[in-house]
Amino acid sequence: MRPRSWALIAVLVAVLLSLAYVSREREARGASTAQAPAGPVPRVCREYPELPDSMRAPTAVPPAEPWLSVGGHGWTSDGPNGGDKGHFTAYGTLHAGAHPLVVDEPFAPSGVELTVCAPHGGGVLFARGEMTPRVEHGPRVKGGERRIGAGGMLHFSVRMSLPSREAEKLDSVPPLSNDERDYPVVVLEARVPGLKEPLRAASCDAVCRDSGLEEA
């Protein structure tokens, strides 16, 4: 075969590969964009709680009142062969603030609400209320209570069943983004007995807010 023929074949192969790549990118982008629910955006996905200054600057003085923060979160398959069954877990931390805080055991029974919001103000992807968190690390239980010292913390997690087809909604928009604003936002609300108001926190601060969203 002549050299010119080989060159022509190489060009054709390169063009076909490029077209296939563009097609896959369009499909992936379309699938991720389709995750945004229709309708007005609920308030929980429009007004993410402000993070305390101490979360932005380690040298800042922690808030005096108890507050909440959201840690890691993600989906895990329950099947040995990567079946459809799985669960989504979110981790949170209760910060005592400037004074000791005593909480009952079990901690916040049926008192945690988990909401996962689509990026860019896309609304609620999924939510679960009246969840009883699991304490991952914190003060020992004494007399049915946990005493968190001033400046201390109690780490907990909440878990909900989520099939793999729903877990695909956790992808970024656009796909494979390195910007945290392109990923879903996890919002936790905890009603802790003894505290007057529920505590709320989000996995992404005001940087994830979008302007011009419709009122719920």
Nearest alpha carbon to residue 115 among 65, 165, 46:
46
Question: What totals of helices (H) and strands (E) does the chain contain, helices first?
Answer: 3, 11
The C-alpha atoms of residue 39 and residue 165 are separated, in whole angstroms, by 22
One digit per residue, pLDDT tens: the chain, 216 residues?
A: 555 555 555 545 454 545 444 344 444 444 444 455 556 788 888 777 776 666 666 667 778 899 999 999 999 998 777 678 899 999 999 999 999 999 999 999 999 999 999 988 788 999 999 999 999 999 999 999 999 999 999 999 999 999 988 999 999 988 989 888 889 999 999 999 889 999 999 988 666 654 334 333
Tokens of 135: 């304490």
Q: Which one, of 129, 116, 206, lies nearest residue 166 by Cα?
A: 116
Complete domains list, the chain, with CATH:
35-208 (2.60.40)
> Do residues 202 and 114 lie in contact, with contact meaning Cβ atoms separated by under 8 Å?
no
Question: Left, alpha or beta for 113 (phi > 0: left; psi -120 to 50: alpha)?
Answer: beta
| Cβ atoms of 118 and 126 closer than 8 Å | no
CA separation for the pair 131, 12 (Å, rounded): 57
* CB atoms closer than 10 angstroms to residue 83: 11
pLDDT confidence of residue 22: 38
DSSP per-residue codes, 124-154: EEEEEEEE-PEEEE-SPEETTEEEEPTT-EE
Distance of alpha carbon 74 from alpha carbon 199, whole angstroms: 22
H/E element, 29: helix 3-33
- pLDDT at position 31 is 43
| Model pLDDT, residue 5 | 55
CA dihedral (216, 38, 127, 44) positive or negative: negative
Looking up tokens 């022509």 gives 8
Q: Is 60 helix (H, G, I), strand (E, B) or coil?
A: coil
